[in-house]
Amino acid sequence: MRIFTLLLLLMVIFLVGCDGAWNNPYPAEESEQNILYSSFQERPKHLDPAISYASNEIVFTGQIYEPVVQYHYLKRPYELIPLAGAAMPTVSYFDATGNELAGAGEAVAYTLYEITIQPGIQYQPHPAFVRDGDDYLYHNLSESEQAQVYTLDDLPQNDSRELVADDYIYQIKRLAHPALHSPILGLMSGYIDGLAEYSKELQQAHKSGEWLDLRDYSLSGVERVDRYTYRIKIEGSYPQFVYWLAMPFFAPVPWEADRLYSQPGLIEKNITLDWYPVGTGPFMLTVNNPNLQMVMERNPNFHGESYPTEGEPGDKVAGMLVDAGKPLPFIDKVVFSLEKESIPYWNKFLQGYYDASGISSDSFDQAISFDMSGQMGLGESMQAQGIQLKTTPAGSIFYMGFNMLDPVVGGESERARLLRQAISIAVDYEEFISIFANGRGLAAQGPLPPGIFGYLKGEQGMNPYVYDWVDGQVQRKSIDEAKQLLADAGYPGGRDAETGKPLTIHFDVTASGPDDKAWLNWYRKQFEKLGIQLMVRNTDYNRFREKMTNGNAQLFRWGWNADYPDPENFLFLLYGPNGKVNHSGVNAANYASVEFDALFEKLKNMPNGPARQAVIDETVKLLRHDAPWIWGMYSVSFALYHEWYQNLKRNMMANNTLKYARIDTELREQRRAEWNPPVVWPIALIVLAILLLIAPAFIAYRQREKRVVS
């Protein structure tokens, strides 16, 4: 008992001795430092810019690597501006005989992108650059030396060098490296001249365990012009290529890093470019422990950049231009902590230990409230804490697709089209968004979400096959109209008029959790409105993918996040030559329309403007008529942030936005102390309760021990 009390006292004394809030998960010395605190739910698989593609990876690579262009932080619609580039790439079009053309068109045989980078940009300090006379200090470590290296810090010397055009060329070559398996190799092989052949050449040259010096192998589609200029040759015309240039896939990688990381003893210990990135960006990764914490710190060699001086209307009033022209980045360090569960994550945000947060379904009711008119706003407790809410269209679509190869729901027949249109009306996505997405979405009117060129608001943007324009807003057509369409299709009351058998549609999904039953039942009810039986075929993702590849699905649910803000990146999901079954492409519905394909080929090469809008309108009209998808919903991203977090504007395309964030550390410290005062008295109460419970037993024990047997 004495030991227990002593331990408890010691614990209390120890806790009292702690500085600041007791529940602060960060070291006390960090309290007033200029640090942004964030989290990650799953460890990033890849940080190598040739491989990394997932959104949880680009959070890191986006801050470290600098492609030649970037998205303007504030302007909408999204606009590309130079980053490491001295100017935007110049684009020239050529015909088959090598004559330069005035612009993109059918005669274009190839396109040249000439890119000039800014001189004087330096890489972050890194051991790969340390020279030893004519050689490099760490490039040829002996086996015993390699055995002594456990992290990059075990190579104590660091150096830097200037960024040159060759580094961008080197990275483009890395996309074809056989050991890297870059996810965009297949796609880029169709555009970058000679990349497919280059990939085969490297495959033959590559020997497992040996470094392949890509400088020794030339790629016809990439040419060095001078120290700071290079050209990329694109087969035909691909105007969307410039968006790819804003992604880390086309960021520079110094050959020295590739050489250093090629040593087998380092690879064995995960000391690779996939784990320790090397860039020129505002931040560098200094701690990489994805089981616990990843830390990025200010790159001392950063070439400097200024906060934008202009934005879209309303940005000035919203305070987004307070820091206009000031040097970036504002913060010194970003700490990402692994947070797998939503409950502790949410509570730490409320305690002030994370600076910003998304909203999970669990915390939605606490965070968001609806007023009498149904308008969404922050809950009272959030407002009391000074938390602010930002909502942004996420540039993504979640749809239900019909397999157009299916004899019942697919094909170009009038019967199948009317059936698809009837189902499109019956599946009430407004209700789905309200029930299952907490209102975080918009019912889709077509394939293009808000924020993408070609999207139209209001009556102009309405899908007339599913909605009517009533009192200035869209209204889903009545179920009676859907029933009439179904009858016209030859299924009155949901039964085949010829056979009398009930119409059954199979719905392939990947639903594994107990919560999924609710939305599956909801889908069944939507089809029941028409008398159609919906048979849910639930499976894991692997089998689902297999079914889609083989064309064995009838109706399915899928989604798409934009790679870049261009309508081509959505419409190509319905392009015939991208059909999943026949061409292993991304067109999961296997929609094939000669008319659509012609329109798509036309619009994909057009610059944004009224002419392109007209073609897009025609394309979307055709798609709405053919209804290969139930258009589903556009998701809306919700973000909460504390009052000390400045300059936050959601940019769904840019991935290098941490440099714009500013933190009022003094205010954060003050709020954390206010919100987290330790409450000690219950400990004393618990000790007392335990003593009261034990005391009678102890007394009884003593009495029994002293009892004399008579």
Partner 1 sequence: MIAYIIRRLMYVLPILVGVNILTFALFFVVNTPDDMAHMQLGMKHVTEEAVDNWKAERGYDRPLFYNGEQAGLTTLTDTIFFDNSVRLFVFDFGQSDDGRDIGHDISERMWPSLALAIPTLIIGLLVNLTFAMLMAFFRGSYVDLSGVILCVVLMSISGLFYIIGGQWLVSKILHLVPISGYQPGLDAWKFLILPVIIGVIGGIGSGARWYRTIFLEEIARDYVRTARAKGLGEQMVLFRHVLRNALVPILTGVVVVIPLLFMGSLVMESFFGIPGLGSYTIDAIHKQDFAIVRSMVFLGSVLYIVGLILTDISYTLVDPRIRLN
Residues 410-429 that bind partner 1 (CB under 8 A): none
Report residue 605 as tokens: 């090469």
Binding of partner 1 at residue 291 (CB under 8 A)? yes
Sole window of 16-24, 72-80, 300-308, 663-671 interacting with partner 1 (rule: CB under 8 A): 16-24
Packing angle of the helix pair 610-626, 594-603 (nearest 10 deg)? 160
| DSSP three-state, residue 419 | helix
State the Cα angle at 123 between 122 and 125, rounded to 5°: 115
Residues 324-343 that bind partner 1 (CB under 8 A): 337-341, 343
Residue closer to partner 1 (CB basis): 190 or 377: 190
Residue closer to partner 1 (CB basis): 586 or 615: 586
Residues 516-545 that bind partner 1 (CB under 8 A): 540, 542, 545
Residue closer to partner 1 (CB basis): 47 or 603: 47
Report residue 156 as tokens: 């104590």
Contacts of 67 (CB under 8 A, 6+ apart): 83, 84, 245, 246, 247, 248, 250, 251
Residue closer to partner 1 (CB basis): 34 or 676: 676
Residue closer to partner 1 (CB basis): 159 or 339: 339
Contacts of 701 (CB under 8 A, 6+ apart): none
Smallest distance from the beta carbon of 407 to partner 1, in angstroms?
A: 27
Binding of partner 1 at residue 577 (CB under 8 A)? no
Binding of partner 1 at residue 504 (CB under 8 A)? no
Binding of partner 1 at residue 24 (CB under 8 A)? yes
CA distances from 185 to 3, 275, 604 (A): 66, 21, 21
Binding of partner 1 at residue 23 (CB under 8 A)? yes
Binding of partner 1 at residue 15 (CB under 8 A)? yes
Binding of partner 1 at residue 269 (CB under 8 A)? yes
Binding of partner 1 at residue 187 (CB under 8 A)? yes
CA distances from 408 to 95, 403, 404, 405, 490 (A): 46, 9, 9, 9, 11
Smallest Cα–Cα separation from 227: which of 301, 162, 281? 162
Smallest distance from the beta carbon of 356 to partner 1, in angstroms?
A: 17
Point out which residues pair with 93 in neighbouring strands: 101, 111
State how far the Cα of 228 lies from the Cα of 86, in Å rounded to an integer. Answer: 9
DSSP state at residue 614 = H
Binding of partner 1 at residue 688 (CB under 8 A)? no
Contact 234, 192 (CB under 8 A): yes
Smallest Cα–Cα separation from 593: which of 564, 554, 563, 621? 621
Binding of partner 1 at residue 17 (CB under 8 A)? no
Binding of partner 1 at residue 53 (CB under 8 A)? yes
CA distances from 384 to 344, 355, 378 (A): 21, 16, 10
Sole window of 271-279, 365-373, 443-451, 603-611 interacting with partner 1 (rule: CB under 8 A): 271-279
CA distances from 492 to 218, 410, 447, 478, 502 (A): 65, 19, 29, 16, 10
Binding of partner 1 at residue 107 (CB under 8 A)? no
Residue closer to partner 1 (CB basis): 53 or 507: 53
Residue closer to partner 1 (CB basis): 53 or 71: 53
Binding of partner 1 at residue 697 (CB under 8 A)? yes
Smallest distance from the beta carbon of 335 to partner 1, in angstroms?
A: 11
State how far the Cα of 540 lies from the Cα of 581, in Å rounded to an integer. Answer: 19
Report residue 223 as tokens: 């040419």
Residue closer to partner 1 (CB basis): 218 or 351: 351
Residue closer to partner 1 (CB basis): 292 or 518: 292
Residue closer to partner 1 (CB basis): 6 or 535: 6
Residue closer to partner 1 (CB basis): 445 or 655: 655
Select the residue interacting with partner 1 from 54, 88, 141, 295 (CB under 8 A): 54
| Longest Cα–Cα distance in the chain | 121
Select the residue interacting with partner 1 from 19, 42, 210, 601 (CB under 8 A): 42
Smallest Cα–Cα separation from 279: which of 167, 177, 139? 167
Burial class for 512, CB neighbours closer than 10 Å (0-12, 13-18, 19+): exposed
Residues 578-637 that bind partner 1 (CB under 8 A): 584, 586
Sole window of 23-31, 124-132, 135-143, 633-641 interacting with partner 1 (rule: CB under 8 A): 23-31
Contact 368, 378 (CB under 8 A): yes
Ramachandran category for residue 352: left, alpha or beta (phi over 0 → left; psi -120 to 50 → alpha): left
Smallest distance from the beta carbon of 529 to partner 1, in angstroms?
A: 32
Binding letters toward partner 1, positions 636-665, x by CB under 8 A: ------------------------------
State how far the Cα of 200 lies from the Cα of 374, in Å rounded to an integer. Answer: 59
Binding of partner 1 at residue 566 (CB under 8 A)? no
Smallest distance from the beta carbon of 263 to partner 1, in angstroms?
A: 14
Smallest distance from the beta carbon of 205 to partner 1, in angstroms?
A: 15
Select the residue interacting with partner 1 from 107, 225, 292, 689 (CB under 8 A): 292
State how far the Cα of 461 lies from the Cα of 695, in Å rounded to an integer. Answer: 76
Select the residue interacting with partner 1 from 289, 361, 521, 550 (CB under 8 A): 289
State how far the Cα of 467 lies from the Cα of 483, in Å rounded to an integer. Answer: 15
Sole window of 154-162, 265-273, 325-333, 490-498 interacting with partner 1 (rule: CB under 8 A): 265-273
Which residue's entry shows tokens 């430092």?
33
Report residue 41 as tokens: 């739910």
State how far the Cα of 311 lies from the Cα of 143, in Å rounded to an integer. Answer: 55
Contact 112, 92 (CB under 8 A): yes
Smallest Cα–Cα separation from 335: which of 682, 63, 8? 63
Smallest distance from the beta carbon of 671 to partner 1, in angstroms?
A: 13
- 357-388 as b/e: b if 16+ CB within 10 A: bebeeebeeebbeeeeeeeeebbeebeebebb
State how far the Cα of 573 lies from the Cα of 471, in Å rounded to an integer. Answer: 34
Smallest distance from the beta carbon of 458 to partner 1, in angstroms?
A: 32
Binding of partner 1 at residue 270 (CB under 8 A)? yes
Residue closer to partner 1 (CB basis): 53 or 241: 53
Binding of partner 1 at residue 209 (CB under 8 A)? no
Select the residue interacting with partner 1 from 322, 518, 691, 700 (CB under 8 A): 700
Select the residue interacting with partner 1 from 82, 178, 450, 464 (CB under 8 A): 178
Residue closer to partner 1 (CB basis): 45 or 524: 45
Residue closer to partner 1 (CB basis): 338 or 511: 338
Sole window of 11-19, 75-83, 375-383, 486-494 interacting with partner 1 (rule: CB under 8 A): 11-19
Which sign, positive or negative, has the C-alpha torsion 490, 493, 499, 501? positive
Smallest Cα–Cα separation from 110: which of 192, 220, 168? 192
Binding of partner 1 at residue 32 (CB under 8 A)? no
DSSP state at residue 332 = S
Binding of partner 1 at residue 286 (CB under 8 A)? no
The residues that touch partner 1, with contacts defined as CB under 8 A, are 11, 15, 18, 21-25, 27, 42-43, 45-46, 53-54, 178-179, 181, 183-187, 203, 268-270, 272, 274-275, 289, 291-292, 337-341, 343-345, 347-348, 351, 353, 540, 542, 545, 563, 584, 586, 676-680, 682-683, 696-697, 700-701, 704-705
